[in-house]
């Protein structure tokens, strides 16, 4: 049995298939890649009742129009985007049912950068090195183009009720917790202190490999970086460029680099970096190693936490237990008003 396929139409500038990526291959020069906001995949798994994160469409800045050839549930997670199914507004951070012939339109992000469209049966493109993720920097896979069709897995429970959860707000900047790293010692105490007292702005330069930050403060540089051997770099590292401005590495970063790194953003705060649109304010706050290690849950643990937040998405009057508590204008209501009220 096939789950049919999804037809991609009028796609935004950067839509690609992403899952949890390829961890454990740094010795081969391959960074994890995968979703730059893995929490969005965990949210989708919770909404769709999946035991593990599914491969999804990662949509930078805007989505596109989508049709399916077999009924399936979908989840909309990550950065909230304008979404409609056949003209009917859809709640973000929720699951919905989609039928063949219906057109799902996903527009611009209202806040944040990366939205995720997950199908309940997953996307069944070929697995390369243990993952379906496009890793453009590594030359694996490619950005998707309008007109393409991708095979879908079968929705194991197409009639399961639509669900909604309140997403952790990570779309509008804020505080990034950091720990010192192997090269923090190359910077003097004053420079490190200024890193944590300066307000930074997400610069225009940024993609799945990393994000540049800027500020009015004097450059944060090291005078001990001359002749430094290239060393292992990874997601979360804060590289200090020659200009003394931070560049935070994301999922698709290189694996060896020569710029000194002043510290590392904790994995749990990386979605906040990835989702910061240009102009968003970000700050760094140093935490102890013990605090950091306590804040590094595996996705299994995160999935339990997201499941605990699920509530039914009320869309049909017959499903509403306290229907009499609602004021029914002219005695008639349609799902949309209730859905919007619930939203």
Give the 3-state DSSP-derived string for 138-181, with helices as H, strands as E and coil as C: HCECCCCCCCCEEEECCCCCCCCCCEECCCCCCCCCEEEEEECC
The residues facing 239 across adjacent strands are 247, 261
Residues 6+ apart with CB under 8 A from 174: 272, 281, 282, 283
Q: Is 186 in the site for other proteins (CB under 8 A)?
A: yes
Q: Is 223 in the site for other proteins (CB under 8 A)?
A: no
In the bound state with other proteins, the residue whose beta carbon lies nearer, of 72 and 222, is 222
In the bound state with other proteins, the residue whose beta carbon lies nearer, of 298 and 321, is 298
Distances (CA, A) of 2 to 51, 122, 127: 20, 12, 17
Buried b (16+ CB within 10 A) or exposed e, 145-160: eeeeebbbbbbeebee
Whole-angstrom distance, CA of residue 224 vs CA of residue 61: 39
In the bound state with other proteins, the residue whose beta carbon lies nearer, of 224 and 336, is 224
- Least Å distance, CB 8 to other proteins, is 23
Q: Is 8 in the site for other proteins (CB under 8 A)?
A: no
Whole-angstrom distance, CA of residue 177 vs CA of residue 190: 18
Whole-angstrom distance, CA of residue 21 vs CA of residue 126: 13
Binding segment for other proteins (CB under 8 A), chosen from 8-16, 179-187, 203-211, 310-318, is: 179-187
CB neighbour class for 327 (10 Å; exposed up to 12, middle 13-18, buried from 19): exposed
Q: Is 266 in the site for other proteins (CB under 8 A)?
A: yes
Binding segment for other proteins (CB under 8 A), chosen from 45-53, 107-115, 232-240, 319-327, is: 232-240
Binding segment for other proteins (CB under 8 A), chosen from 61-69, 83-91, 156-164, 250-258, is: 250-258
Q: Is 101 in the site for other proteins (CB under 8 A)?
A: no
Q: Is 166 in the site for other proteins (CB under 8 A)?
A: no
Q: Is 143 in the site for other proteins (CB under 8 A)?
A: no
Q: Is 207 in the site for other proteins (CB under 8 A)?
A: no
Among residues 182, 278, 279, 312, which is the contact residue for other proteins, using CB under 8 A? 182
In the bound state with other proteins, the residue whose beta carbon lies nearer, of 230 and 330, is 230
Q: Is 24 in the site for other proteins (CB under 8 A)?
A: yes
Closest CA to 81 of 257, 277, 222: 277
DSSP symbol at 136: G
Question: 294 to 313, contacts with other proteins by CB under 8 A?
Answer: 296, 298
CB neighbour class for 226 (10 Å; exposed up to 12, middle 13-18, buried from 19): exposed
Which residue reads 């989708």 in tokens?
44
In the bound state with other proteins, the residue whose beta carbon lies nearer, of 112 and 263, is 263
Count of positions (residues) in the chain: 343
Closest CA to 132 of 58, 215, 192, 225: 58
Among residues 254, 299, 316, 342, which is the contact residue for other proteins, using CB under 8 A? 254
- Least Å distance, CB 31 to other proteins, is 9
Cα angle 64, 343, 175 (rounded to 5 degrees) comes to 80
Binding segment for other proteins (CB under 8 A), chosen from 69-77, 155-163, 164-172, 220-228, is: 220-228
Q: Yes or no: say if 273 and 247 are a contact pair by the CB < 8 Å rule.
A: no
- Least Å distance, CB 137 to other proteins, is 7
Q: Is 128 in the site for other proteins (CB under 8 A)?
A: yes
- Least Å distance, CB 189 to other proteins, is 4
Per-residue binder mask for other proteins (CB under 8 A), 41-70, x = binder: ------------------------------
Tokens at 36, concatenated: 């730059």
Residues that bind other proteins (CB under 8 A): 23-24, 26-30, 128-129, 137-140, 179-189, 191-192, 224, 227-232, 234-237, 254-257, 264, 266-267, 288-289, 292-293, 296, 298
């Amino acid at each position: 049995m096939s789950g049919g396929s999804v037809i991609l139409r009028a796609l935004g500038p950067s839509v690609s298939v992403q899952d949890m990526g390829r961890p454990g291959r740094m010795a081969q020069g391959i960074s994890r890649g995968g979703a730059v906001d893995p929490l969005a995949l965990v949210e989708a798994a919770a909404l769709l009742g999946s035991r593990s994160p599914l491969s999804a469409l990662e949509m930078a800045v805007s989505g596109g129009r989508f049709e399916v050839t077999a009924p399936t549930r979908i989840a909309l997670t990550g950065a909230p985007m304008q979404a409609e199914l056949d003209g009917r507004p859809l709640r973000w951070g929720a699951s919905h049912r989609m039928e063949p012939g219906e057109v799902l339109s996903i527009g611009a992000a209202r806040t944040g950068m990366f939205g995720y469209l997950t199908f309940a049966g997953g996307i069944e493109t070929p697995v390369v090195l243990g993952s379906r993720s496009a890793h453009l920097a590594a030359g694996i896979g490619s950005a998707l183009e309008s007109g393409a069709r991708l095979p879908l897995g079968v929705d194991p429970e197409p009639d399961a009720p639509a669900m909604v959860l309140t997403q952790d707000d990570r779309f509008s900047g804020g505080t990034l917790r950091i720990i010192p790293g192997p090269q923090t010692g190359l910077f003097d105490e004053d420079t490190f202190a200024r890193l944590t007292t300066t307000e930074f702005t997400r610069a225009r330069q940024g993609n799945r490999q990393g994000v540049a930050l800027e500020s009015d403060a004097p450059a944060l540089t090291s005078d001990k970086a001359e002749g430094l051997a290239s060393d292992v770099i990874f997601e979360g590292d804060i590289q200090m460029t020659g200009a003394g401005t931070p560049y935070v590495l994301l999922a698709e970063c290189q694996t060896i680099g020569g710029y000194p790194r002043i510290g590392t953003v904790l994995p749990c705060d990386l979605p906040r970096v990835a989702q910061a649109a240009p102009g968003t304010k970000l700050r760094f706050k140093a935490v102890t190693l013990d605090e950091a290690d306590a804040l590094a849950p595996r996705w299994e643990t995160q999935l339990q936490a997201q499941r605990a937040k699920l509530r039914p998405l009320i869309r049909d009057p017959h499903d509403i237990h306290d229907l009499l508590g609602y004021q029914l204008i002219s005695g008639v209501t349609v799902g949309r008003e209730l859905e919007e009220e619930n939203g």
